[in-house]
Amino acid sequence: MSQLNGNLTMARGSVAATLSRAAVDWMVNTVDLSTLLDQLNLDRLGVDEVFIPSLQVSEDFDMPGRFTKECVQKGHILDSITRAEIWVYSTVPCLTRNYRHSVCVFGIEDLNRLSKNKRLSANKIRTEFDYSIVECVHELLFNRTYLEQIDNPLNMSYYANRQEILYHKNRLYRNESFKLDCNTNHSTWA
């Protein structure tokens, strides 16, 4: 394993992350992140919200599939595809009107809109609050996977045209006409 040398661009983001297989392999088998983790663990708050986001925007470390700090430096934050969540201050209503740590707890009331949501996971679902949402989402995923239920066709262009993907493709196959659009914001709520 190699020790990382370079300047780490600090970034804060979600604890949840969507990483490429190459990025995970890099983190586990190529670099030694123990010193970085030890240094981050000296702080008591928000360490889990700094580790992956910082690796994702640090050009010196060049993690596979990384993004850029350019949008954040301009004050633009692109929404994430990793996790669907509704914060207490959101304009999107919490249909259950139940919150935990300022995040809406989804229930069966949310099944329709979660089934149409483009994000890869949902936060928060609590079985002790409403187990039916868990069972219904399981059935929905089973039906889509094994019974070829096509109630909401997957729109691959939504994912393929996201700025993170276009940026990564441009890193691999240089296109002189490529321009990063930090103003793009994809709404994932129906």
Average pLDDT over residues 146-165: 87
Under the banding of pLDDT at 50, 70 and 90, the label for residue 189 is: low
* Least confident piece of the model among 2-16, 27-41, 44-58, 89-103: 2-16
Query: What pLDDT is recorded for position 190?
Result: 52
Distance CA 67, CA 190 (A): 27
Name the DSSP class of 84: E
Distance CA 124, CA 83 (A): 9
- Report which of 86, 90, 78, 143 is spatially closest to residue 109, judged by C-alpha positions: 86
- Report which of 6, 19, 4, 11 is spatially closest to residue 53, judged by C-alpha positions: 11
Average pLDDT over residues 129-143: 96
pTM, two decimals, is: 0.78
The β-bridge partners of 84 are: 122
The β-bridge partners of 31 are: 2
Share of the chain above pLDDT 90, in %: 39
Asked if residue 31 lies in contact with residue 1, where contact means CB atoms within 8 angstroms, the answer is yes
Query: What pLDDT is recorded for position 132?
Result: 97
Name the DSSP class of 7: P
Average pLDDT over residues 55-82: 86
Average pLDDT over residues 17-31: 93
* C-alpha dihedral sign at 129, 132, 133, 134: positive
